Chains A and B, each alone.
Chain A
Amino acid sequence: MIFRTTNSRTRPTIRKVRTGTALRPLRHRLDPARVEEIPFRAGDGVRLGLTRIDSGEQDRPAVLLLHGHTASADMFLLPETRNLVDVLLDDGYEPWLLDWRGSCRLPYNETGQRYTYDDVALYDIPEAVSRIRERIGDRPLFVVAHCIGSLTLSLSMTAGLVPGLAGVVSQGVFLTPKLAGRTSLRMTVAGELLKNRIDHIPVDFRKVGLRSKYTPLFALASRGAGCPDPTCQILHNSAWGSGASLFLHENLSEATHDRLAELLGPAPLWILPHLRRIELARSVVRWHDTDHRYRALPPNALDAAARIDTPVLLLAGSENGLWLDSQRLCHEVLAHRQPQLDVSYTEIPAYGHLDTFLGRGAALDVFGHILEFLAERR
């Protein structure tokens, strides 16, 4: 059970939470001069991060990389392994990195300035795409998206907000999110029990300390875990308490494993209702039914899938412990309902969810598929 902490006087039980909107600096091993941070605010005034990696050439196709929720652009720039940005640069592309409002480089997950995935689909992605288009002109623009980045991108695409992309690589989940029943149940129960007590689930034990109201969460997450690191436990063994697994442990390099707390941030609880609605419908649905500011978004993205105007590559690790075989399902559903779309599906054997980008062998096993897809359409 989670205890209330309001009567504790002897020491502050609550850690300091970042409130400024300054982006945490990126960690990479590129020449700093080649990394251009572009000031960028979304249409509703939320400050976001947009980064362009300068390749020294002006005629390369651009590739926008979208991270997952609570991750950040850092996940494509891991200095310790061969990362996607390296591979794209070597293969003649110009990588662009968007930190949308769910990034852990931004404070919004922790400070309770709430949003739903509708905001991401309506503001963050379309505006980033048009900002990039201002810079690249009519060069082709691809998008490689991971997890919630990909899910919200599907909503933007079916709303027709990002027309004319040259190709989209979607990792983990796209139009048909599917969670294990157990994960879904735990998510709901935990969310309902905790939502009036805490507003986010931290992942870094060093920042909350041993004696805190989060300790029982960490303790629960450690049940049956093979790794003693609490951060790893709450991510790998429990995916923020939901009981799913975010990656295959053996696929991460040791350096990445030790940096997990930096790569993935706290997960807000107030996003759960939208996530739950999406998951139970087994399709991406809009949260705001009555708010007309969001009417550009379709009520159900799967029904509007005919608006997708670009080739899509669905990627998924065969052992994805969070979204299971959502991508295979998505491929099956789209092949049946929208046979005119150019959608292909590639399963990556022996990979989980996050390790398709963070894994030490990702360049060998995953990025080849991405390059192949991009090369056919550049």
Chain B
Amino acid sequence: MREVNEDAAAHAGQRATGEAIERGDGGPSVEALLARIRQAPTATPTPTATGTDRKSGVGTDAGARADTSTPRVGEDADADAGKTAVPSGAVVDVGAPAVSSGAGADVAPPGAGTDLYANAPTVPFGAGAGAGTGVGGGGDTGTGTDRGAGALPALAVSAAPAAPAPDADGLAAVVAAAAGPFVPGGQLSPDTDFFDAGGTSVGAVELVAALEDELGMEIDLDEVFADARPRSLALRWLVTAGATAALSAAGAPATPTAAGTPAPAADTIGTAPAPGTFPFPVPAAAHGFSPAPAPGFRPALAPASSPAPATDTPSIPSPRIPSGATVTARTTGAGTPYATARPEDLDQILADLSLADRLPWTGSPEPLPPRRILLTGATGFLGSHLLLDLLRHSDAHVHCLVRAADEEAATARLGEALKSHRLPWSSEIRRRVTVLPGDIRRPHLGLSDDVWNKLAHEVDSVVGVAAAVDFLRGYQSLRQSNVIGALTLAELAATGPPKPLHHISSIAVFNEVGIASMGEDDPLAHVDRLVAGYDQTKWAAEVALRRARDHGLIVTAMRPGGIGGHTRTGAHNPQDLSSGLISAFGRFRTVPAFHCLNAAPVDWVSRVAAGVICEPDAWGFDYNLTGVPNTLDDVVRDMAYGGMHVRVQDWDEWRTDALARLEADPVPELGFLTRVLRSPTALKLCEATLKGPAATGERTAALVEALGLRPAARYDAQAQLRTFERLARDGLARLPDKGDQPYLWFSETTEGDVGPVGGGADTPCSMALTLSIASMYQLVKERRVDVGGELVCAAAHPAPLLVEHGDVWIRPEEGIPQRHGMRHQLLRYRLTLRDADGGRWWLEGHKYARARRDVWRQTRALNVEIGREGEPASFAGELVVPADSYVRDQIDGIKVDPRLTGREKRVAKLTWLAWFGAEMGRGLLGPFTRAAADLLDLRRTRTPSERPR
């Protein structure tokens, strides 16, 4: 893109300016700059006029939004960049007209998400909001440093709404009140993230609708996902909605206070902590709201060099601080939206990384297996399995940090979580677990100082599993859990006696589209190319903890890929992306063409993680707990093995197709998948996941071998079976059933005589049945075949009786004789029939294996009993499959689902014949072996020959 090259030149100047401002000396003074800003609008009359026109006119189109500030930004960039005015201006101008013209012409604007504004009735949205959705990535492919330009324009924009700050508070409160009903507690404070408070994705959608209906506030859903604090929503809306008016009014913004402090702090009018408490270059600050001052990380425990937060400011080199403020206003590039991270997120990431620098210096821990472990995230999917594995494979006592009001609630919550993951929860577990009510997002984990200090001195191992896993939410929304939480654990590990910190990272740290390799020691992704907030937080946490290693802390980073369901219990994470994808594959019988799936079952991941934690020699390294990757071929073959023949589609085709199907026929349990497939950022994450290379884990493999653990095995059909069953039970996946097109079917005719029970069989009777199976799964697991067809039996009714429901079980109950004896069950028929007059009947039939020479007849002769519904049998007799029709119907006459290819049909037929033949063989052999054993028992047994007695 043209912008890229131009940016370099443009930003050189901008950066100089930005740094100058930060230094507080040199360059133009703040007043001078502000003066320039004030001039800016007037200097670009044309675009502004357009915008204003639109607004004052109808104000219905998107153009108004884009126009209100974008051109101004362009101008600002020109102004403060000074020397490089022309190219810089060009950069922004490219974007701005694109949006405005597009909207003006009522054509959907290029940026995803922007089209949502097209319906905006009255409230004009500012470009700030547009950028806030993350569409600003267009031209912004450079590294962080090239973003120096922005402090000032941002100041300009943000300073304006700063004036009506009380309004912002009020509005934030209103938004918070509106959001209250959508969180479990029923209340949301203006500075609490909606999702942190327990809000769900569905809740977010409802909240957006409610805000629009009740308050007339139009906020994009992606906005909410990116940063869902009511205050930030309010401020962003204020900024964008009121920017035009406010800017002109704000002749003398309050920004002079910014002198000497980083720009963002200045922006956080009133709501911010003391300037510089945490000089977070929160991009959001550009809009004038509070920059998330990492409340979870208490600087009080920082090294002596920075005891008080206020003095920290200068010690942190943050050349990029102003930059964060800048680029927010950038609008959609005409090119690829969501190709890169939002700049404001990058700035926040850098600020968060610097938090690691205040960890205390620490020594090496004693290399002993842990005796007391602090575990976070024990209520989660991996965490709960890890808790059990730690208890099983060490003698340690485990302290579990659980988010709850008090200990009782926390214990109950942990118990519920373990049970929901099909793990035991008994007094034997409770006696080795201490539950601590707390919250990783809060300073000192939300623990009292006493508890914190006690933990710091008693615990000898810290295991951080807790993380907010949500592929829709943005960095701002997730960082508190995933980054600040990890740093708080590092702080705990470094406080008191040195302890190892074991951090569950994620293969998401490599989740860049087009990354070359994902080895344990390979470089992580370029963070600016990570788009999804989740990927960014996992990257930031791992990089921050790498920095912590420089403080002497022993940090182990374990990176699972996809965590599949338990191979034995089928426990899975119903909201997990891989659960959703597997379910969708099975439902739609299509798979996207992925490269490989780096997924391992939770039991293996947790067992290896527990092995690392309990083995001091393993501490301090990075591990990829990804197991053996599944390739596309593997998955297709596995699904065919289960009787689900899938077709492969291109990713884009699959996504469109799957989304269309999900929208046409919504599955509530798969709602999250629909949302992911709709979210541009989450799609990027999916794309990177599906197109990425296989993760490798040599170190993990070596460790597994050294510890004698079960080596990684491919997460194949057999291993996934239980999980798939549970997915089906929970409504996500769907097992083929009788209503579907059968996988395979054939007809069977039987003829014979029946008569009254106890009497002679003299009435001819025949059945014409169709036996079918919906999948091989049904056959192997339930050993059952579906039956349809009719029964002709004059004794019951002159007209044929229709089979309403019928099953045949093959070797039911392992063939155990119904009564003591040698008559083993071979097949059991159970049919429900209806006669022409509506009368209902039942038929129970058995084929028996006996130790007799008429084996061929045993496979064909069916002893039946027929009776009216709810009554005992009235007729009994024997029906036999005619020998000549057997082979014709049941071998040659097998039909297979016509949608399958010829090869698949042959395989299906042979699989059925092989399985059924083997079962019949076993069944027939049973009585003969018993007879043979009776003969062997007659053998003379000599007195035991072993001598000394």
Contact = CB atoms under 8 A, between A and B. Distances in A.
A196 B946 contact: no
B820 A273 contact: no
Most chain A Cβ neighbours within 10 Å, of B392, B566, B946: B946
A195 interface: yes
Interface string B40-80: 00000000000000000000000000000000000000000
A176 B816 contact: yes
Contact of B946 (A91, A195, A199, A367): A199
Contacts of B926: 280
Given A250-B710, A300-B820, A361-B392, A16 B428 contact: no
A14 B820 contact: no
Contacts of B933: 188, 273, 276-277, 280
B388 A178 contact: no
B813 interface: yes
B941 interface: yes
B640 interface: no
B425 interface: yes
Contacts of A282: 814-816
B739 interface: no
Given A250-B709, A350-B568, A365 B946 contact: no
A329 interface: yes
A33 interface: no
A43 interface: no
A333 B948 contact: no
A130 interface: no
Contacts of A200: 946
B37 to A, nearest CB: 65
B948 A14 contact: yes
Contacts of A280: 926, 929-930, 933
Contacts of B388: 364-365
Contacts of A319: 568
A199 B948 contact: no
B427 A332 contact: no
B393 interface: yes
A82 to B, nearest CB: 7
Nearest to B925: A181
A343 B442 CA distance: 48
Contacts of B422: 349
A349 B944 CA distance: 41
A349 B949 contact: no
B937 interface: yes
A303 B816 contact: no
Contacts of A192: 936, 939
Nearest to B942: A196
Contact of B948 (A17, A181, A303): A17
Interface residues of A, number: 56
B603 interface: yes
A281 B428 contact: no
Contact of B425 (A90, A91, A363, A368): A368
Contact of B813 (A82, A333, A361, A363): A333
A55 interface: no
Nearest to A112: B944
B903 interface: no
B26 interface: no
A285 B947 CA distance: 33
Interface in A210-258: 250
Contact of B426 (A195, A299, A372): A372
Nearest to B815: A282
A76 interface: no
A9 interface: no
B118 to A, nearest CB: 53
B310 interface: no
Contacts of B392: 360-361, 364-365
Contacts of A338: none
A297 to B, nearest CB: 13
B99 to A, nearest CB: 56
A177 to B, nearest CB: 10
Contacts of A371: 426-428
Interface string B787-819: 000000000000000000000000001111111
A286 to B, nearest CB: 10
Contacts of A17: 946, 948-949
A248 B469 CA distance: 34
Contacts of B603: 350
A318 B708 contact: no
A213 B127 CA distance: 90
A329 B814 contact: yes
B427 A368 contact: yes
A285 B813 contact: no
Nearest to A227: B708
Given A300-B820, A368-B424, A368-B425, A349 B566 contact: yes
A198 B936 contact: no
B211 interface: no
A250 B426 CA distance: 22
A157 B946 CA distance: 36
A355 B946 CA distance: 32
Interface string A351-367: 00000000011011101
A332 B825 CA distance: 15
Interface in B806-838: 813-820
A111 interface: yes
Interface in A139-188: 176, 178, 181, 188
A322 interface: no
B922 interface: yes
A368 B936 contact: no
A109 to B, nearest CB: 12
Given A282-B815, A364-B428, A196 B941 contact: yes
A198 B428 contact: no
Most chain B Cβ neighbours within 10 Å, of A12, A14, A285: A14
B939 A364 contact: no
A112 B948 CA distance: 11
Contacts of B941: 195-196, 270
Contact of B428 (A178, A181, A199, A367): A367
Contacts of B818: 337
A282 B708 CA distance: 37
B819 A303 contact: yes
Interface string A250-280: 1000000000000000000010010011001
A166 B702 CA distance: 51
A132 interface: no
Contacts of B939: 192, 195
A291 to B, nearest CB: 15
A336 interface: yes
B948 A329 contact: no
B717 interface: no
Given A19-B949, A277-B937, A369 B813 contact: no
Contacts of B391: 361, 364
A197 interface: yes
A107 B848 CA distance: 44
B429 A198 contact: no
B424 A365 contact: yes
A196 B939 CA distance: 10
Nearest first, the 3 closest Cβ-Cβ pairs linking A and B are A368-B426, A349-B568, A361-B392
Given A90-B427, A112-B944, 8 more contacts: A250-B708, A277-B933, A303-B820, A364-B429, A367-B426, A368-B424, A368-B426, A369-B426
28 contacts: A178-B814, A188-B933, A196-B941, A196-B942, A196-B945, A197-B945, A198-B944, A198-B945, A270-B944, A277-B933, A280-B926, A280-B930, A281-B816, A281-B817, A282-B814, A282-B815, A283-B816, A319-B568, A329-B813, A337-B818, A349-B568, A349-B569, A361-B393, A363-B428, A365-B388, A367-B428, A368-B428, A371-B427
Interface of A: 6, 12, 14, 16-17, 19, 82, 87, 90-91, 111-112, 176, 178, 181, 188, 192, 195-200, 250, 270, 273, 276-277, 280-283, 285, 299-300, 302-303, 318-319, 329, 332-333, 336-337, 349-350, 360-361, 363-365, 367-369, 371-372
